[in-house]
Structure 1
Amino acid sequence: MRCLLSAYLLPLILHACTGADWCYQTQVSCDSHCKGPEKWREVNADCGKDRQSPINIVTKQTKLDERLTPFRFTGYQTVFDGTLKNNGHSVQVSIPVPATISGGNLAEPYKAVQFHLHWGISSGPGSEHTIDGEQYPMELHIVHMKQKYIRIEDALKDPSGVAVLGFFYEVSSTTNRKYDLFAHALRSVQNTNGNTTLRKISLNQLILPEVNMTNYYRYDGSLTTPGCTEAVVWTVFEKPIPLDSEQLQAFSSLKFRDGKPMVGTFRPVQPRNGRVVYRSSGGTLLVSVFLLMASISTAFTITRLN
């Protein structure tokens, strides 16, 4: 009987000692057995591939792509009740209504599946992507998959099966009232597997009117957690969403699966490995409109003077 017990317990003990579970760097300590970001490739080999996310976007090295036109959003304005869950690594909300994106040089429509966030400590650095080395306090990911797929697992087998929209947050001196219900709901999901209903929310409510939806960056990358599958078309928007320090602090009050404070929930930036990061023509269009208006104004003034 003792031998049988040993045979049963040994694999469990080895699992605990080798630390097959992944975690963020803030969870790594002398008494922890999880594998931090530098060892994620030991959890899943894909995490060591060449097209990983997130990355640092160097704006001077981006390439203008006229095909990156404004997106077409369908169902983003629809109000819904979603399930907010602490999954042990972040908070995630499933999207129960039909919502799609198209345009923006996407090959076909993608439907929204869920959104989740990554953050630091209170209002400290916490975004996954960085812009010219600047790390924002938090980052929102709205995850979509090609409309033809039913399961996200199937979409991840397609090199461009998933499209993620990334949005930064910045510290504001004023409260963003559109996030009041969200911040309040976080109190009900402090622990892993805690869930609650996030009522009367829409995807537009999360991002508009703060974000300029025509200015964004595009590159091919991966999921930012294991298995790090390289099947993601990334769109990272330039203009951040404002939240006050108290709203940002609400996310830091959550707890990881191991009971530690859920802070620093971001993967460090990964090598670009020669990938080109494209930028939309939104900024160029705005400048062109400004110059056109300035020219018209100047011409009108000259005409009046004459």
Structure 2
Amino acid sequence: MGRVYFIFPCLISVFCLGATWDYTDTSTWTSVDSKCGGTSQSPVALAESTMTSATYQAFSITGDDVTLTETMTNNGHTVVVPITQTINVTGGGLTGTFQAAQLHFHWGSDSNKGSEHTLNGNQYPMELHIVTYNTKYADLATALPNSDGLAVLGFFFQVGSSDNANFAPIVSALSNVVNKDATHSITGFKLKDFMTVNMGKFYRYQGSLTTPTCDESVTWTVFAEPLSMSESQLATFRTLYEDTTTTKQMVNNYRPPLALNGRSVHLYTSNAPRLPLGISLAIFPLAALFIIV
């Protein structure tokens, strides 16, 4: 991606950082924040042949059936949607209750690339991240520096033969946020409609934000079964720009996989995708539109 300014508008006040970064050469991110050179960075290449099997209780998600009205923002790196309703996640091997803060996407210039994680050597055309934070901390900003602060749910996308109606509210809003800093209100969607995969098979490891400041505070869950979007829906994301002058197309906004450096990746398989609503415990609203993982 082209050059953009990484400036938090103090929505997450402790990270009001003025610096320039883009996706052209992610190896230069250490000059933005030294944490980007850490030993537990994300994304990683996921390979089932090297994983350790593990057993977890099923995920329980509450509040994800509420119809949401949120404000989508083009922040110059991606499109991000805050989650201002209380949606809580527990189970799935997570320790504690995690509250949803926001969701965003990573995609390529074509459908041969786009996802941040790879699976068994394959890269998908898009990856969705639902960012949550540990409610033992007061808010996302407080949680971020802590090793157990964040949990991100990652979903791959494959090219589908028809439009995915569940993502129509997102895709139809993109024409209103073509340029950096543009915002648009979207309504009529439920978070559960973005998670219509078998949540009983996933990959788990400890990692980081995939953009500066690269904090190593993320418990990653990447689901094996991909979601789908039609080629035309995926192409709509490629009509966005990372600047205000409609000069630099927003594509290939993904960080390449980083070394595991001895970290283990666990494979969990279950026949039960998740517990029914209300059976278990506890995700919170957005704290910063510029936290991308």
Decide whether the 8 Å contact of 2:105 with 2:126 is kept in 1. yes
Cα distance between partner residues in 2 of 1:69 and 1:122 = 37
Residue segments in structure 1 that go unaligned for 5+ positions in a row: 1-18, 26-35, 287-306
Match of 1:126 in 2: 114
Decide whether the 8 Å contact of 2:154 with 2:220 is kept in 1. yes
Decide whether the 8 Å contact of 1:119 with 1:138 is kept in 2. yes
Match of 1:216 in 2: 202
Correspondence list, 1:63-142, <5 A: 63-66=52-55, 68-142=56-130
Once the two structures are TM-superposed, the CA of residue 144 in structure 1 deviates from its matched residue by: 0.3
Q: Which amino acid aligns with 2:236?
A: A
Once the two structures are TM-superposed, the CA of residue 181 in structure 1 deviates from its matched residue by: 2.0
Length, aligned pairs only: 254
Cα distance between partner residues in 2 of 1:192 and 1:282 = 41
Is 2:222 aligned against 1:233?
A: no
Runs of 4+ in 1 over 6 A off after TM superposition: none
Look at both structures and tell me which one has the larger radius of gyration over its CA atoms.
1
- Give the counterpart of 1:61 among 50, 54, 58: 50
RMSD: 1.5
Residue segments in structure 2 that go unaligned for 5+ positions in a row: 1-17, 274-293
Decide whether the 8 Å contact of 2:96 with 2:136 is kept in 1. no
> TM-score of the superposition, structure 1-length normalised?
0.80
Match of 1:198 in 2: 186
Correspondence list, 1:1-306, <5 A: 20-25=19-24, 36-66=25-55, 68-208=56-196, 211-257=197-243, 259-282=247-270
Q: Secondary structure at the match of 1:21?
A: strand
Larger relative strand fraction = 2
Relative contact order (C-alpha < 8 Å, sep 6+): which is higher?
A: 2
Once the two structures are TM-superposed, the CA of residue 133 in structure 1 deviates from its matched residue by: 1.3
Cα distance between partner residues in 1 of 2:158 and 2:106 = 13
Once the two structures are TM-superposed, the CA of residue 123 in structure 1 deviates from its matched residue by: 2.1
Match of 2:281 in 1: none
Q: Which amino acid aligns with 1:251?
A: F
Once the two structures are TM-superposed, the CA of residue 20 in structure 1 deviates from its matched residue by: 4.5
Larger relative helix fraction = 1
The superposition leaves residues 63-118 of structure 1 with CA deviations (integer Å, 9 ceiling, x where unpaired) of 1111x221000111111101100001000000010001001111100000000010
Report % sequence identity.
Answer: 39
> TM-score of the superposition, structure 2-length normalised?
0.84
Q: Secondary structure at the match of 2:71?
A: strand
